[in-house]
Amino acid sequence: MVINSRRLRYLTAFVFLFLIRLAAGRVPFLEAQSSGFFIDSEPRFIQRLVWSGGEYALRYEVVIEKLEGETYRGLRREFTNALFIEISLTPGLYRFNVIPYDILDKPGEPSQWMYIEVRRALRPELVEVPQEVSEDGTDEYLLDISGRNIFPDSRIYLVAPDGSHIEPVEVINFEDDSGVLLRFDSGQIVSGEYELVVINPGGLGTTTGGITFTAHKPKPPKIKPLVIGIGASWSPFYPIYGMPEDGEFSFFSVALHANMLVSVSADTYIGLEIQTALFFLDETSEINMQSVGGSLLVQKPLFDKKAAVNMRFGADYVFLENSGFYNVTAGVSFLLRFLEFIEIEAGIDYAHMLLSNGRGYLRPRAGIGFQF
């Protein structure tokens, strides 16, 4: 047999270089890597076993073992020139390693064992899916799905009318594998028709459409058409202008009031209030002055009707010993409600005496009342 001398020289040089690199420890380490998974068109599950290294390997032997009981037993051996093989394994626990064969077709040092798990792929089943979902009033949507084979690591999402994918903010799997509860924030959803997609590990999935989400329409606030209130307050008399230097001042006083309000809108009440006040102007504890009057009362509820602002515009008549005079009045106060019918009120009223010298005074108020 005639041997081409040039090819023989090339082969000898290649083997010589390989032996030098092997002696120097420069042959790349052969390493088995984790497997990837995909499904072909049958569908039949295919596992791809991949490794790296073996720069000077002529071919590779792949040894696959399966765990039976507590021992791994040989399952199959395959030879390949590529850096991967594709096989179809049944569910179970496996390990594999790779043995490189050099240019002389002699086996080298095998790689470390790589352990893999092949899980049974199940297609998710949707038994019952609500076709209409409304916001529950807490700024979120809850989608209660009955089904089987839906796992904690399943991918679940909605396909919006514009084609975008919306992931739930929380997925709660039922322990008996009877379904899942999905929670979406109201900010993720606009009213419209959506499609639900569930994809299990391994790639098997299912989908269903025609799920209509409707934004929550808040109920209109409950409005009382008529409100009646009564109360008492501390209401001192403090002159601010037009009074003589020794003008009267009453620190000890009490006022009683009653009002009736009607609703003109969701946040406004208008009505009438009548009030009488008793003033003690000296230390004799005798009533020196008394007033009776009425006001137009405008009330603006605040903080879901747990508070309100009152504005008053009116007039009263003041009895002073054997004489009397009229006042025009205005005031503002703030009240807090407790138990829906108890009110605590604080504010200030202004009064101008309709006298020739035009006297005026302030009347702070702090009291408690009841609303019906």
pLDDT band at 342 (very low <50, low <70, confident <90, very high): very high
Q: How far apart are CA 272 and CA 259, in angstroms?
A: 6
Average pLDDT over residues 212-233: 80
Considering the domain architecture, whether residues 19 and 106 belong to the same structural domain is answered as yes
Domain end: 88, 118, 148, which one?
A: 118
The DSSP line for 323-359 is EEEEEEEEEEEEEEEETTTEEEEEEEEEEEE-STT--
Confidence of residue 11 (pLDDT cuts 50, 70, 90): very low
How many C-beta atoms surround the C-beta of residue 174 within 10 A? 14
Yes or no: say if 161 and 193 are a contact pair by the CB < 8 Å rule: yes
The pLDDT tens digits of the residues spanning 147-205 come to 988 888 899 999 999 999 999 999 999 888 888 999 988 888 888 899 999 998 878 88
360 CA to centre of own chain: 56
pLDDT, tens only, 252-277: 788 999 999 999 987 899 999 999 98
**pLDDT tens digits, 220-230:** 667 788 999 99
Of 124, 65, 122, 61, the residue nearest 89 (C-alpha): 65
Domain that holds residue 94: 5-118
The CATH number assigned to the domain holding 197 equals 2.60.40.10
Residue 93 lies in a domain: yes
Q: What angle do CA 259, 263, 267 make, to 5 degrees?
A: 110
pLDDT tens, position by position, 34-82: 444 444 444 566 788 998 877 788 899 999 999 999 999 999 999 999 9
Domain end point (choices 118, 152, 187):
118
Instruction: Examine the domain organization and report whether 89 and 145 are in the same domain.
Output: no
DSSP 137-202: SSSEEEEEEEEES--TT-EEEEE-TTS-EE--SEEEE-TTSSEEEEEEEGGG--SEEEEEEEE-TT
Q: Judge whether 219 lies within some domain.
A: no
On the question of pLDDT at 142 being above 90, the answer is no
Whether residues 201 and 288 fall in one domain: no
Q: State which H helix or E strand residue 20 sits in.
A: helix 5-23
Query: In this structure, are 206 and 330 located in the same domain?
Result: no
Is 221 domain-assigned?
A: no
pLDDT above 90 for 31: no
Q: How far apart are the C-alpha atoms of 83 and 186, rounded to whole Å?
A: 50
Please give the pLDDT value at position 213. Answer: 85
Query: What does the block give as tokens for 144?
Result: 């209660």
pLDDT tens for 277-334 read 887 765 555 557 788 999 999 999 998 888 999 999 999 998 877 778 899 999 999 9
Q: What pTM value is reported for the model? A: 0.45
Number of compact structural domains in the chain: 3
What are the backbone dihedrals phi and psi of residue 5, each rounded to the nearest 5 degrees, phi first?
A: -65, -35
Q: Mean pLDDT, to the nearest integer, of 122-147?
A: 83
Q: From CA 87, how far away is CA 96, in angstroms rounded?
A: 12
